[in-house]
Amino acid sequence: MDNVTFYLMNGLLFSGTAILTIALFPVWKLTKELPPGSARSLWNVLTLMILFFIAGYITYAFVNWRNCSSFSELLVPGVFLGGAVFVLLVCLLSFKTVIDLQRINILEQENISDSLMGIFNRRYLDRRLKEEFLRSQRYNLPLAVLLLDIDRFKMVNDTCGHQIGDLVLKNLAKLILSTVRDIDIVARYGGEEILVIMPNTTATHAAVLAERLRHKIAMEEMATQDEESCHPAITITVSIGVAGFNHGQTTAVDLHTLIKNADKALYQAKNDGRDRVVVIGADS
């Protein structure tokens, strides 16, 4: 009986040690997936604790190498084994959860982002427009939008090709994102049109940013190409329509009217010669 309990005790202990060792692998993988910060530090602490438990299991096995004489003494090694299984399951489930969350996050980003320009798409734009409009009404805050369109963009596509045209769109989106504020929402409105939602901003202040953005775009090289197929440096100009509302103004403006005013302002900018900013709904 002593031999049976001896082998059972050591079998339980070494099985628990092996399971804890296996649990280290998902923990290490999970730690690599996490950015530096408190969460990653806590998982590093868990790694050290698992290593400490492994050392404790081995120490217990050597200390009690020949001291197991009855089945009742297998209780502690059995608990050790159960604890090791529990740790392994928690680590595996945590790792799987993180991977699933990453996959969901990627799908969400793809669902709300424009794959070409790297900004928000029309679906997300419509949702955020409603949210920001309701928020501005609730807290009596101003709201402004910029509607931007590339001047003669068809000429770029026809002359340089659609690949260069796509590159121009990508670089334009990057330039806009680097110019607007963090709280502003930049989204593709349709074709080469881009709409910028500017919360807590009057039309007058939005027009200042629009003018700065227009000038910056005109001075920037958007793409390069061989002289044989196109100009060595491609620059563009944009027309921008600005619309906004304040709760202090006399004329009531709803969301539909706000976007319609921005579209009217853009149309007027095009008719007035392009490469300019037109404002509708400036502060009175």
Predicted confidence (pLDDT) per residue in 164-186, tens digit: 999 999 999 999 999 999 999 99
Q: Is the pLDDT of residue 68 over 80?
A: no
Please give the distance of CA 163 from its chain centroid, rounded to a whole number.
Answer: 26
- Helix pair 75-112, 2-33: axis angle to 10 deg: 20
Provide the b/e sequence for 95-111 (b: ≥16 CB within 10 Å): beebeeeeeeeeeeeee
Per the residue annotation, which of 132, 192, 193, 221 is the catalytic one?
Answer: 192
The structural domains of the chain, with segments of one domain joined by +, span 2-112, 122-280
CATH topology of domain 122-280: Alpha-Beta Plaits (3.30.70)
Mean pLDDT of the region 84-88: 93
Q: Which residue has the higher pLDDT, 64 or 280?
A: 280
Mean pLDDT of the region 75-88: 88
Q: Is the pLDDT of residue 281 over 60?
A: yes
- Tell how strand 143-150 and strand 193-199 pair up: antiparallel
If we measure between CA atoms, which residue out of 133, 109, 128 comes closest to residue 119? Answer: 109
Q: What is the pLDDT of residue 225?
A: 62
> Is 272 in a helix, a strand, or coil?
coil
Please give the Cα distance from 181 to 255 (Å, whole number).
Answer: 22
For the full predicted model, state whether its pTM sits above 0.85: no
Contact 133, 125 (CB under 8 A): no
Q: What is the pLDDT of residue 250?
A: 47
Mean pLDDT of the region 136-146: 93
Per-chain mean pLDDT for the chain: 88
- In residues, how long is the chain? 284
> Is 47 in a helix, a strand, or coil?
helix
Please give the Cα distance from 276 to 64 (Å, whole number).
Answer: 86
pLDDT band (50, 70, 90) for residue 32:
confident
- Report which secondary-structure segment, H or E, holds 201: none
Q: What is the pLDDT of residue 9?
A: 78
Provide the b/e sequence for 50-87 (b: ≥16 CB within 10 Å): beebbeebeebbeebeeebeeeeebeebeebbeebeeb
Sign for the pseudo-dihedral over CA of 212, 216, 219, 223: negative
Share of the chain above pLDDT 90, in %: 59
Mean pLDDT of the region 117-142: 93
Mean pLDDT of the region 203-219: 96
Residue 197 sits at the vertex; the CA angle it makes with 196 and 199, to the nearest 5 degrees, is 145
190 beta partners = 193
If we measure between CA atoms, which residue out of 145, 208, 150 comes closest to residue 175? Answer: 150
Mean pLDDT of the region 23-49: 89
Tokens 């049976």 -> residue: 4
Q: What is the pLDDT of residue 160?
A: 86
Active site residue 192: yes
CB proximity list for 54: less than 8 A, separation 6 or greater: 17, 20, 21
Q: What is the pLDDT of residue 202?
A: 94
pLDDT band (50, 70, 90) for residue 209:
very high
H-assigned helices in the chain = 2-33, 38-63, 75-112, 122-138, 153-160, 162-179, 203-219, 255-271
Query: 61 to each of 8, 48, 87, 90, 139, how far by Cα in Å?
Result: 11, 20, 19, 25, 67
283 exposure class (CB count in 10 Å sphere: 0-12, 13-18, 19+): middle
> Is 192 in a helix, a strand, or coil?
coil
pLDDT band (50, 70, 90) for residue 127:
very high
- Report which secondary-structure segment, H or E, holds 240: strand 238-245
Mean pLDDT of the region 203-212: 96
